[in-house]
Amino acid sequence: MRTIHTDEIIRNVKEMCIEANVHLSDDMEQAIRNAKEKETGTLGKQILGQLCENMDIAASEQIPICQDTGMAVLFVKVGQDVHIEGMNITDAINEGVRQGYKEGYLRKSVVADPLLRENTKDNTPAIIHYDIVPGDQLEILIAPKGFGSENMSKVFMLKPADGAEGVKNAVIEAVKDAGPNACPPIVVGVGVGGDFEKAAILAKKALTRNTTEGSSLPHIKEMEQELLERINKLGIGPGGLGGATTALAVNIETYPTHIAGLPVAVNMCCHVNRHVKRVL
Amino acid sequence: MDKRINVPFTKDEVVTLHAGDYVYLTGTIYSARDAAHKRMYDTMLEGKEIPMELKNNVIYYLGPTPAREGQVIGSAGPTTASRMDKYTPLLLDNGLNGMIGKGKRSKEVIDAIVRNKAVYFAAVGGAGALLSKCIKKSEVIAYDDLGTESIRKMEVENFPVIVVIDSEGNNLYETAVEEFRKTL
Ligand code: SF4
């Protein structure tokens, strides 16, 4: 049994919220810079140039990369041999988010009731997905999610007979529909299998995977590459104003499913695909 | 084509802008997004005065991050315009000349743009740090209670935008993608 105090969780979550909003991960930053070199669309190239400059200014002046600093989404893996001391872990995470969004001058974008729409003024509550895992560590992954792209996400309940072709068509349809609204170049997170909500969570999780890695499953990796190629032939391009860089990556996660179903979720993310992970 | 334009601007100037033009705006613009639009719309329907002058002006769909000590404004990129579509025709019919946002517009908005000879610009989504540098002054003038969604009067200098829908209804989101596809 290892004891972790919630003060440590609060401090780490706070720092991670700020870090995620000012610096992209190395793979994301590199993907954008590489795309700028390769882009052949005139406006597309100009826009990618602005995005590179934007990352530089954000880092040097500690200004958030994007004004939509997102809703804080967390994936938390709790080792079953960890004892949490202090307060309730969910309260601690929300306290970390509260402090991070205040001290980091991040935007408070959460409303308490989806219909009454009054701002909570501290960007809480966060959306937290817990997993109980073996071991005595606590892994926290934070992914602030902007809603321009979130709004363009979709769930498809396909039939088993739709197969791989059906999955690919669903992804392409979602990307076409999103067009300029998801702030391309995008990263496309896809969840295949599970049930209705599992597919959506997988899709969100897929966005947090390193964009250079690819799936560990050969047939899925092949699908990721094929989809990326097809998406980039759509011509939507940076800002939706024409170009070869519509997506920087397609990441697919899968899970066993029911004999009668083939759920597919497509979670869109803009080029400001933020995620920071720490292990306590 | 690159153009430099002062805002607010008249209809005579609006009609010289064409879909695809890269434009640098200098002058005064106003920020307003979802909640401010809803409130202005409801106020106008009640026949009351709204807290900003629409005639010849440009609205920027923006909800910035808070400014740090010594900064004019925090990160300040565009938000998705389609959420304002319900409210936009009424504003255009009452003199608004331009909008800055990102993403597609509805047919009703495009019709209102053509009817009123207005223009829809896109700023680059996700370039909020860069765009904040072109905002030289910012002051909340109304709806303070809405926080990031309040209405701001802002002075901008060479603020970079692209004409997406011009006063004739040409739509760069459609034409640019088509053009690029031909090169493949
Ligand atoms: S979709 Fe992404 S880049 Fe675009 S405004 Fe939202 S967070 Fe920013």
Reduced DSSP (H G I as helix, E B as strand, rest coil) percent helix, strand, coil of chain B, to 5:
30, 30, 40
CA dist A229 and A223 (Å) reads: 10
How far does the centroid of ligand 1 lie from the alpha carbon of residue B29, in Å?
A: 21
Domain count, chain A: 2
Verify that A139 and A257 share a domain, yes or no: no
Verify that A184 and A195 share a domain, yes or no: yes
Ligand 1, CB within 6 Å, residue ranges? A 66, 68, 146, 148-149, 182-183, 270, 272; B 77, 125-126
Tell me which residue of A181, A257, A144, A110 sits closest to B83, measured CA to CA. Answer: A181
pLDDT single digits (tens) A248-276 = 999 999 999 999 999 999 999 999 999 99
Verify that A13 and A101 share a domain, yes or no: yes
State the Cα angle at A16 between A10 and A21, rounded to 5°.
135
**Whether residue A53 has pLDDT greater than 90:** yes
Please report, for chain B, the start and end positions of each structural domain, with discontinuous segments joined by +. Answer: 2-182
- Specify whether the CB–CB gap between B159 and B135 falls below 8 A: yes
pLDDT single digits (tens) A85-116 = 999 999 999 999 999 999 999 999 999 999 99
- Specify whether the CB–CB gap between B103 and A181 falls below 8 A: yes
DSSP state, residue A262: E
* Residue A149 CA, distance from chain mean position: 10
Verify that A133 and A193 share a domain, yes or no: no
Question: 111-140 in B: which are within 8 Å (CB) of A?
Answer: 122, 124-130, 132-133
- State whether residue B144 sits within 8 Å of chain A by CB: no
Question: How many residues belong to chain B?
Answer: 184
Closest atom of ligand 1 to A147 CA is 6
Q: From atom 7 of ligand 1, which residue's Cα is the shortest distance away?
A: A146
Verify that A169 and A260 share a domain, yes or no: yes
Task: Give the CATH class of B2-182.
Answer: alpha beta
Please state which of the ranges A42-46, A75-79, B87-91 shows the lowest mean pLDDT.
A42-46
| pLDDT in the model for residue B1 | 72
CA dist A106 and B68 (Å) reads: 10
| pLDDT in the model for residue B184 | 83
Chain A residue with Cα closest to B82: A181
Verify that A155 and A78 share a domain, yes or no: no
- Please state the rounded mean pLDDT for residues A66-78: 98
Identity of residue A208: T
| pLDDT in the model for residue A21 | 97
| pLDDT in the model for residue B106 | 97
**Mutation probe of ligand 1 site: the residue of B80, B104, B131 with most atoms within 8 A of C-beta:** B80
Verify that A120 and A215 share a domain, yes or no: no
| pLDDT in the model for residue A4 | 97
Tokens of A274: 């933020």
Confidence of residue A246 (pLDDT cuts 50, 70, 90): very high
Cβ neighbors of B181 (< 8 A, separation 6 or more) are: A233, A234, A235
Question: 115-174 in A: which are within 8 Å (CB) of B?
Answer: 117, 119, 121, 148, 151
| pLDDT in the model for residue A121 | 94
Q: Which residues of chain B have pLDDT under 50?
A: none
| pLDDT in the model for residue B79 | 96
Chain B residue with Cα closest to A122: B147
Q: Could you tell me the residue range of the domain that residue A246 belongs to?
A: 147-273
Cβ-based contacts of A239 with chain B (< 8 Å):
102, 122, 124-125, 162
Reduced DSSP (H G I as helix, E B as strand, rest coil) percent helix, strand, coil of chain A, to 5:
45, 25, 30
Q: CB B102 to CB A181 under 8 A?
A: yes
Residue finishing a domain among A129, A144, A159: A144
How far does the centroid of ligand 1 lie from the alpha carbon of residue A92, in Å?
A: 27
Please report whether residue A57 resides in a domain. no
* Mean pLDDT for all residues in chain A: 97
Tokens of B110: 């495009």
CA dist A13 and A103 (Å) reads: 12
Give the Å distances, CA to CA, from A180 to A152, A243, A268, B5. Answer: 10, 12, 12, 25
- Please state the rounded mean pLDDT for residues A172-176: 97
- State whether residue A100 sits within 8 Å of chain B by CB: no
Confidence of residue A237 (pLDDT cuts 50, 70, 90): very high
Strands in A54-113 per DSSP E = 71-79, 82-85
Tell me which residue of B78, B47, B44 sits closest to B64, measured CA to CA. Answer: B78
**Whether residue A231 has pLDDT greater than 80:** yes
- Please state the rounded mean pLDDT for residues A44-55: 96
**Whether residue A234 has pLDDT greater than 90:** yes
Cβ-based contacts of B172 with chain A (< 8 Å):
241
**CA distance from start to end of chain B:** 23
